[in-house]
Chains A and B, each alone.
Chain A
Amino acid sequence: MNFLKRIIDVRGWKRASKTAAIVIMAAVALLAALSWVNVSEEEMLQSASEEMQEIIRQEEASSRKYVTVTYNSFGFIKYLSFSTSGAKAVKETYIAFAGQVYPADTGFLKFIGQMVNYTYRMLGSGQNILHGVKLTILLTTLSMVIGSILSIFLALGKISKNKFISKISSAYVFFFRGTPLLIQLFVIYFSVPVIFGFSWRGLFAIGDTEAVYKGAFLAALIAFSLNAAAYCAEIVRAAIQSIDKGQGEAAKALGMTYGQTMRHIIIPQSIRRMIPPLCNEFVMMIKDVSLVFAISLMDITTISKTIMTSEGNYLVFFPALVIYLIITAIFTFLFGKIEKRLSVYE
């Protein structure tokens, strides 16, 4: 721990480390700034070799197309020309950076180009909100919001003096914490429609090409919310019970009802104590959401697995890891801010 503290305490660093850190940060900032200098799409498409340009020109005359061109806004471009037999004949890859186009068929640039391309696909760029990082963040946030609202009721149920209510709430928590999340997801996605005679896809307009994804998303949202509620209920219960008994007594002595006491006195105070464990739960949830690969939703994990099978590149998981790390870091930072804001009175 002391070691970590020394690292975090910037003022205690040696001069050389400070300089190095500043140089690295400046370099990163410079590279980031340069990467904003984009090449236009036309410029990129002109980057192909003589041979490839010749093939493209010939194709314009014929009706059969043998060249595919993929291009994305991260400055990654790929030409694929097939021979009539269907085998790859000519393949060229380029990367644009800081207004220049570089060939990226071999070596380090090839690696960078691939990673940029994969990252781009995992971010779900060009796709709707139900793809990639957008899906992960949307599903996590919505599930946690719905889950934590449900969990307040569950927690109040658990500490209720009414035996029936408290038993029901405890049973709920026991069930959802005692079974695997993946099976809960399967039950809601596969079993529930069978039992009640509907289909998730059917809930959306016929002819909606995204109906499958929307249906799966809804099922996943329900499963994750119910599961998050069970885990958060324990957090909320602990936070409520950690509030000094005198607070409730003072409220009662002032004539407040149970509901008023909870709403105005106990819950507002316990929320600040819930934030750190809820942040923990949130971070767990970001990673749990990768289970949606089992119901064919295209989140980061599903996309990286798809890329691995289709391109045979086993390094695809590294950008996936980095993306997860960045998401987690951002949310941890946000929760820290919220906690600080809620601590004004302490």
Chain B
Amino acid sequence: MSDFEYILRTEKLCKSFGHLEVLTDVDLGVKMGEVICIIGPSGAGKSTYLRSLNQLETITSGKIYIKDELFLHREHNRTIHRIEPDRQKAMLLEMGMVFQSFNLFPHKTVLENVMIAQVLVRKKSSDAARRLAGEIINMVGLSDKLDAYPSKLSGGQQQRVAIARALAMEPELMLFDEPTSALDPELVGEVLAVMKKLASQGITMLVVTHEMGFAREAADRVIFMDQGRIAQQGTPQDIFQNPEGERLQQFLQSIL
């Protein structure tokens, strides 16, 4: 169906802030349609990993492939290879990102939030952008809030708008950076429901989360990160039913 094996792959990805090494040799490949959950204690580098993928952080060394094509190769804080700038932007658009703190644009209405990047970046007509935005907002169940400002929405509704905003760019891969961590417990469910819906529609997702229930239910693969490394990975069953390794067992015990 597709002419590439991995939509996204990293090889020996390392990132340090000064002397503090946050990520060490992270190798991971994401296949089309896969839902991967990354779990692990805080400070394990999960968010940093996600942020280095779409260039919000610059990696120290390692290789990032997008659709099996070398996107960025750095060694010792030097860029060895970077894809040409005009294709770089198009490739980064293959990734949509949802942030822990929503980061909706507060001066734009829900509809405008979902439309603006389509018009500015994808150069769509505002009619076409409005049509797609309407569909997606409907899909996340907020079609009655089109003209509301984000400040008038609950946290869960805001995060659903943020998901819609990322989806409107029609990315091949969605990155979720702890999408429910900033929410009140009773609002978590509505966001997870939307994410499960996406998972069932076959959208490729990379989710950093503390919601073990979601990971168990929706993930094809669960990755346990600890101290900047991938400590363990496997199917939800492997990880949750028969956890191996002391750190993973400790972590699961503390969180469940």
- If A255-B89, A256-B121 touch, does A345 touch B151 (CB 8 Å cutoff)? yes
* Given A246-B103, A247-B103, A268-B107; A253-B121 close (CB under 8 Å): no
Q: If the complex has contacts A246-B99, A260-B120, A264-B116, are A253 and B105 also in contact, measured as CB distance less than 8 A? A: no
A254 and B149 form a contact (CB under 8 A) = no
Within 8 A of A (CB), among B35-69: 54-56
On chain A, the number of residues with a Cβ less than 8 Å from chain B's Cβ atoms is 19
The yes or no answer to A252 lying at the interface (CB within 8 A) is yes
- Indicate if the CB atoms of A249 and B99 lie closer than 8 Å: yes
Indicate whether A1 reaches chain B with its CB closer than 8 angstroms. Answer: no
Mark each residue of chain A from 247 to 285: 1 if its CB lies under 8 Å from any CB of chain B, else 0: 101111111100010001100110000000000000000
Against A, the Cβ 8 Å flags (1 = close, 0 = not) of B81-111 are 0000000010011011101010111111000
- How many Å lie between the Cα of A334 and that of B96 in the bound state? 42
Give the chain B neighbours of A265 by CB distance below 8 A: 105
Given A255-B121, A256-B117, A344-B149, are A250 and B105 neighbors across the interface (CB < 8 Å)?
Answer: yes
Residue of B nearest to A253 (CB): B97
The reply to whether the CB of A50 lies closer than 8 angstroms to some CB of chain B is: no
Cα distance A344–B106 in the bound complex, in angstroms: 10
A-side contacts of B103, CB under 8 Å: 244, 246-247, 249-250
**A246 vs B107: C-alpha distance in the bound complex, in angstroms?**
14
Closest A residue by C-beta to B120: A260
Interface residues of B in 160-186 (CB under 8 A from A): 162, 165-166, 169
Residues of the B chain whose Cβ atoms lie less than 8 Å from the Cβ of A256 = 117, 120-121
Q: When A260-B120, A344-B149, A346-B151 are in contact, do A253 and B54 touch as well, CB less than 8 Å?
A: yes
Per the bound structure, the CA–CA distance linking A251 and B116 in Å amounts to: 10
Q: Are B101 and A269 in contact (CB under 8 A)?
A: no
User: In the assembly, what is the distance between CA of A268 and CA of B55, in Å?
Assistant: 25
- Name B117's contact: one of A249, A255, A268, A269 (CB within 8 Å): A255
Closest to A344 in B: B149
Known: A250-B99, A269-B106. A345 touches B121 (CB 8 A): no
Set of chain B residues within 8 Å of A345, measured between Cβ atoms? 106-108, 149-151
**Residues in chain A near residue B99, CB distance under 8 A:** 246, 249-250, 253
Q: In the complex, A326→B168 CA distance in Å?
A: 52
List residues of chain B with CB within 8 A of the CB of A253. 54, 56, 95-97, 99, 166
A227-259 to B contact mask, C-beta < 8 Å, 1/0: 000000000000000001011011111111000
B106 touches A255 (CB 8 A): no
With both chains docked as a complex, state the minimum distance between the C-beta of A43 and any C-beta of chain B, in angstroms: 58
A242 to B96, CA, bound (A): 26
Residues on the A chain within 8 Å of B117, using CB: 251, 254-256
5 closest A-B pairs (Cβ-Cβ)? A250-B103, A254-B117, A246-B103, A253-B97, A345-B149
**5 A-B pairs in the complex with CB atoms less than 8 angstroms apart:** A247-B103, A252-B55, A254-B121, A269-B106, A345-B149
